Structure 1
Amino acid sequence: FVADMLKQFSVVVVTSTLTSLLVGFTLTPWLASRIGIKEDLKPTNYFNRFLLWFEQQLDKFINWYGLQLEWVLSHKLIFTGIVVLLFAMTLGIMKQGIIGKELISTGDQGKFRMALEFDKSTSIQKNNLIAQQVETYILQQKEVATVFSNVGGPSTGIGSLGVGSTNKTEFTIQLKSKKELNNLATEEFMKTLREDLKLKYPAINYSMAALGLIPRSAPIEITLSGSNLDLVMKSGNELKSIVEKIPGADNVRLSVETGSTEYKIIPDKDKMQRLGLTTAYVGTNLRTAFTGNDDATLTENGTEYPVRIWLDEFERKNYDDVKRLSIVNPMGLPIEVSQFANVERDNSPSLLERKDRQPAITLTADALGRPSGTVADEVVAYLKKNPLTDGINMTWGSDIKRQNDSFGALGSVLMISFLLIYLIMVALYDNFVYPFVALFSILVATIGAFLALNLALSNLSLFALLGLIMLMGLVVKNAILIVDFTNQLKAQGMYYKAALIKAGKERMRPILMTTLAMVFGMLPIALAKGTASEWKNGLAWVIIGGLLSSLILTVYLVPMMYYVVDRLKEKFGKNTARRKTPQIITNETIS
């Protein structure tokens, strides 16, 4: 699933990055050699005066940063405590539940589906009459553009069995454009409409689901299975009552429900044999009585009409009429059903479901007002405290299963990316320690990434995790600029502390330029409100937040870690020299 969703996106990012590298090595130096002319700006106009003022402010900022970096190198424990505190605050914010989890945002397309469910004894005529009243009421709402009604027909949602029911109606409602509605959220209108309809038509069960660009089934799907059907049904009903109480869970249903009321005719074979009846003969007559016989046709003026023949003045829903139903045996004698069979009223199951050859039941629920992953987490938390009965197996399906699989796969990709970045830098630096120092920039980037998601009220989705993977490659370049230039200065004989301060000041300008360029480039995606913009909003906010926190923290943390590593190497080198010196003196003395 992850590969199908992100393959094209990843190919575009990799190709554009490699193309940018090629341009940076070829076209950019050539153009700079041809048109790059050093020019001393004079304050002759407003634009030049602005550039000179900006340059002065940038120099002041870089000098201020140099003083701050020198303080950090002298107060490493205090700065480490600040970073640890920021991590703790980030974890605390995550625990508040502001960031939800979902596979892919449905997106607010201004369209939703609303299902009405009447009592099972409701006829199609009564269903249609009330549905017309509800439809008229919906169309009277100023926010509604169109309504498509499906009375008694099969549901149009994915996962529908394709079988209609006389007691069910479905509306597909399209709202007006966001501009006309002053950016009214579709879910807010859905909640308001349902509350109004509950007051006006209280005897109806209402369920709603937003419709996005990608058709989807109920995002929450749990299948319970076991060897004992009664125990499976009991566990399913108990879990349903729990899920219904979770905020955000909507239209909680079980796949196996109590069916419509029916009459069971249970024959007595001994009585049937004495009366000259057989099971096949009785079954044929009962079928004709209840459903009629349509073998006959009538042709008139070239048009063929089907003809259905059944009993007159017979109430199929009346218990006494069913018992008094007469069947003529082969000898021509009329015999009532009550003479050879018992008639019982019962409710048949609406569906028989099996999983791995065991009785099963599937619980489905929509998420309204909260991300589906967050609702599922509450179900998991409840089941950890209150496990299912022994002998009952539970499996997740639909969006939650894909979400768990996708998040697990992307978690592995994160680790592989982390390792590959480290190995590439090891090959470039020919050193195992300094690449490790550069990787600290990735850790502090997560602080800003999750903080930005919180502030933007975005959810942790598939695209947000993709943003974290992209962020790893973006933020590590800040550390590479500092570490690489520090190594060059040390190779020229400069002491590592002075080299770190000079490298930080010299590389602050390109770090600022590249970070701010990327941040401003991602802002249109982060602030977009168009079709399917919700998919990419999280990705953009993760990158923006991660880049800004990396800009603020990496320029201090990476030099500090570099300083600590070189300081330990220096101390270790001195201790090694001290251990070797007595041994050399002893050898000279002996000789």
Structure 2
Amino acid sequence: GLALGHRISVILLALAVFLSSISLVPFITPSFFPKVDTGDISIRFRLPEGTRIEETNRVMEAILKDIDEVVRPEEMRHSYGFDGETKEGVGVALGFDQGPNVGSIGFKLVDRDKRSRSSDEIAAALRERVKSIPGLNKIYVRAENAITSILMGGGKPVSLEIQGPDLGQLMQFARRVKSLMEQIPGLVDVEISQKDPRPELWVQVDRKKASDLGLNVATIARTLRNYFYGIEATKYRDAGDNYDIFTRFTERDKNRLENLPEAPLFTPDGRMIKLKNVAKIIQGQGPIEIQRKNRQKIIKVEADTYGRSLGAVTSDLKKALSKLGVPIGISIRFGGEVEEQQKVFKDLTILLIMGIMLVYMVMASLFGNLRDPFIIMFSVPFAFSGVLYAFYLTGTTLGIMSFMGVIMLMGIVVNNAIVLLDYIHLLQKRGKSLSEAVTEAGRNRLRPVLMTTLTTFFGMLPMAVSQSVGAEAWNPLGITMLGGLSVSTLVTLILVPTIYYMLERRKVSR
């Protein structure tokens, strides 16, 4: 009755609540998927190209020593580490970065409820500790299992894809972007995907001299491969068993650089000449790999996040990039989780709109008109208001799980308004006046509405406040549901009957 006597005040108050929640939008940052503390921490490092495996082992031991000092004994469960590469190249085929200058370390912590520090905090402490080890070219410390990282693509959350025709120009611009990203708070382990060039020996064949002797580049290359790498010459069979016969120089001769120009070559007529007579040996550098996308060279500048959400660091990075001049012929775009987030949010937005439309269509078929569903739909904007308030007060980001919670709310928040409005219609059919029907419906349906809301509220409460292992994945969903239900219920009990009274009274007066 009080609300019906102060209808304008109720409308203005509801409008103030809605607008105040909209003002919180700039403070809400998007994210992709909640990060779960599984207790896995992986460290990957890379030394300059050409580094011997012995030096890699020394760095590995230094990192393991730092781990023992940073991680408390009661926090550690088990650990592993390896460096170098497999002979068959299985690790590279599976997506692991391998080589004599590459190492990887991983360890598993005890469950989250048995330690005081999170895996992100331990990873941050290790990151500060190991980056001072001399000789490191790249190092990557992340609170994630290495195998899981590879299966998910092996990339970092923030990835800038720089494309262009000239690799040297791309590298020069990528270094500028890397320096820029290192200055943005919340971005850590910034690195360039393009590996440093490795030392090489180039054999430049004098094609005219070689042709005069009956040789060609393919023949010379095949002969040198036989000497220094080896080839399978034939097989030896004995009692049903096969043995490969592999021919090459001895270990001492093949590892001596001075033997390369002295390598013997045999002409078709049986003469022997030395390699230095038909070729020059030049020391140089060459890229390990050249990445391409859509037939264009591409270099990625990637970074991990710590202490800030993905949306917050992305927003700061976009502002910084807008002030950075992009050279002609070079394009730059976001990849990684930022790109995936945009795709998922676009799909979820379409689903949200479809959900609202379907809810309205179902109510229109139930009430047999378009006006009553329109009144009930006033509960929906205030569900958004409750979500925004909950996000702001708890520091929750808008990710996949919370977005799914918003979609779920569209079908839940209208239930109480449907019950209330349907009972008002029933009382009017029984001969009650408009004022009596609205007032009595609000009084008689208060308990059912509150019971419905509270059962859902307390059912979601453990999901929202749980601190158990893996709860980080479900906390945003619970917080979203609690915030939307709380505010929407209050609006349903006051605003919806008031709007119905105003529209129905206007209809009767006509």
Taking structure 1 as the reference length, the TM-score comes to: 0.73
Tell me what 1:454 maps to. 392
Distance 1:188 1:156 in 2: 33
Q: CA deviation at 1:452?
A: 1.6
Q: Note the alpha carbon deviations across 1:182-237, whole angstroms, 9 max, x for none.
A: 3x211001001121223455746321222278952323445444455555555544
Quote the RMSD (CA, aligned, Å).
3.7
Q: Distance in 1 between matches of 2:487 and 2:143?
A: 35
State yes or no: 1:144 paired with 2:76: yes
Mapped partners of 2:394, 2:256: distance in 1:
58
The 1:273/1:91 distance shift into structure 2, 3 A limit, reads same
- 1:90-129 Cα distance to aligned partner (Å, 9 max, x none): 33433135x4411x22311111211122222211122123
Paired position in structure 2 for 1:33: none
Render the CA deviation track for 1:231-254: whole Å, top value 9, x for unaligned: 555554444444444333344444
> Which residues of structure 2 form unaligned runs of 5+?
none
Based on CA coordinates, which of the two structures has the bigger radius of gyration? 1
Equivalent position to 2:502, from 561, 564, 577: 564
Of 108, 115, 132, the residue aligned with 2:44 is 115
Question: Structure 1 residues 296 and 313 mapped into 2: Cα distance closer, same or farther (>3 Å)?
Answer: same
Q: Is 1:167 paired with 2:134?
A: no
| Kept in 1: contact 2:112–2:469 (CA 8 A) | no
How far did 1:440 drift?
Answer: 0.7
1:357 alignment partner in structure 2 = 295
CA distance in 2, matches of 1:468, 1:156: 45
Higher mean displacement: 228-237 or 135-144: 228-237
- Per-residue CA shift, 1:504-530, capped at 9, x if unaligned? 222221111111111111111112233
The SS at the match of 1:409 is helix
Distance in structure 2 (CA, Å) of the matches to 1:433 and 1:348: 72
Instruction: Kindly indicate whether residue 266 of structure 2 is the aligned counterpart of residue 266 of structure 1.
Output: no
Instruction: Please say which of residues 138-147 and 532-541 is displaced more in the overlay.
Output: 138-147
Provide the residue aligned with 1:197 in structure 2.
130
Structure number with higher strand proportion: 2
**Residue of structure 1 equivalent to 2:249:** 310
Could you tell which deviates more after superposition, 215-224 or 171-180?
A: 215-224
- Please report how far the alpha carbon of residue 176 of structure 1 lies from its aligned counterpart in structure 2 after TM superposition: 2.0
Instruction: Give the fraction of aligned pairs with identical amino acids, expressed as a percent.
Output: 25
What one-letter code is carried by the residue in structure 1 that aligns with 2:296?
Q
Q: Deviations over 1:541-567 (max 9, x none)?
A: 111111111123332221232233234
SS in 2 for 1:167: strand
How do residues 117-132 of structure 1 correspond to structure 2 at under 5 angstroms? 117-132=46-61
Q: In the alignment, is the contact (CA less than 8 A) between 1:276 and 1:329 conserved in 2?
A: no
The 1-side partners of 2:323 and 2:356 are apart by 35
Say whether the 8 Å CA contact 1:264–1:345 is kept in structure 2.
yes
The CA distance in 1 between the partners of 2:374 and 2:425, in whole Å, is: 14
Residue in structure 1 matched with residue 448 of structure 2 by the alignment: 510
The 8 Å contact of residues 27 and 392 in structure 2, kept in 1 or not, is answered as no
Instruction: Flag the 1:387–1:542 CA change in 2: closer, same or farther, 3 A.
Output: farther
User: Mapping of 1:85-96 within 5 angstroms?
Assistant: 85-96=16-27
**In 2: Cα distance, 1:159 partner to 1:226 partner:** 27
Q: State the Cα distance separating 1:502 from its structure 2 match.
A: 2.9
Task: Provide the C-alpha distance between the structure 2 equivalents of 1:489 and 1:121, rounded to a whole number of angstroms.
Answer: 87
Structure 2 SS opposite 1:258? coil
- The 5-angstrom pairing of residues 20-99 of structure 1 reads 66-67=1-2, 69-70=3-4, 72-73=6-7, 76=8, 78-97=9-28, 99=29
Query: Counterpart of 1:554?
Result: 492
Q: What code does the residue aligned with 1:350 have?
A: I
- Find the aligned partners of 1:403 and 1:448 in 2 and give their Cα distance: 23
Q: Which residue pairs with 1:17 in the alignment?
A: none
Match of 1:544 in 2: 482
Q: Secondary structure at the match of 1:481?
A: helix
* Contact 2:192-2:299 within 8 A present in 1 as well: yes
Trace 1:191-590 onto structure 2 (pairs within 5 A): 191-199=124-132, 203=136, 205-211=138-144, 215-217=151-153, 218=155, 219-273=157-211, 278-291=216-229, 295=233, 309-310=248-249, 321=258, 325=262, 327=264, 330=267, 335=274, 337=276, 340-383=278-321, 388-389=326-327, 391-393=329-331, 397-570=335-508, 573=510
Change (3 A) 1:220 1:450: same
User: Partner of 1:133 in structure 2?
Assistant: 62
Letter in 2 for 1:148: Y
Contact 1:255 1:351 in 2 (8 A): no
CA distance in structure 2 between the aligned counterparts of 1:86 and 1:157, rounded to whole angstroms: 57
CA pair 209-489 structure 1, distance change in 2 beyond 3 A: same
Give the distance between the partners of 1:452 and 1:267, measured in 2 at CA: 72
Q: Is the 8 A contact 1:145 1:175 kept in 2?
A: yes
> How far apart, CA to CA, are the structure 2 residues paired with 1:296 and 1:313?
23
- Shift in Å, 1:278: 3.6
What residue identity is the alignment partner of 2:493? V
Between the aligned partners of 2:311 and 2:177, the Cα distance in structure 1 is: 17
> What amino acid does structure 2 have at the position aligned with 1:453?
F
In structure 1, what is the Cα distance between the partners aligned to 2:298 and 2:410?
Answer: 44
Q: Give 1:349 deviation, angstroms.
A: 1.7
State the distance in 1 between where 2:94 and 2:315 align: 26
SS at match of 2:474: helix
CA 1:235 to 1:203, structure 2 compared with 1: closer, same or farther past 3 Å? Answer: closer
Give 5+ residue unaligned stretches, structure 1: 1-65, 574-591
Comparing 488-497 with 166-175, greater Cα deviation is found at 488-497
Contact 1:72 / 1:560 at 8 angstroms: preserved in 2? no
After TM superposition, give the deviation of residue 426 of structure 1 in Å: 1.6
Distance 1:567 1:158 in 2: 75
| 1:475-524 deviation digits (Å, cap 9, x = unpaired) | 11222233222333334444434433332222221111111111111111
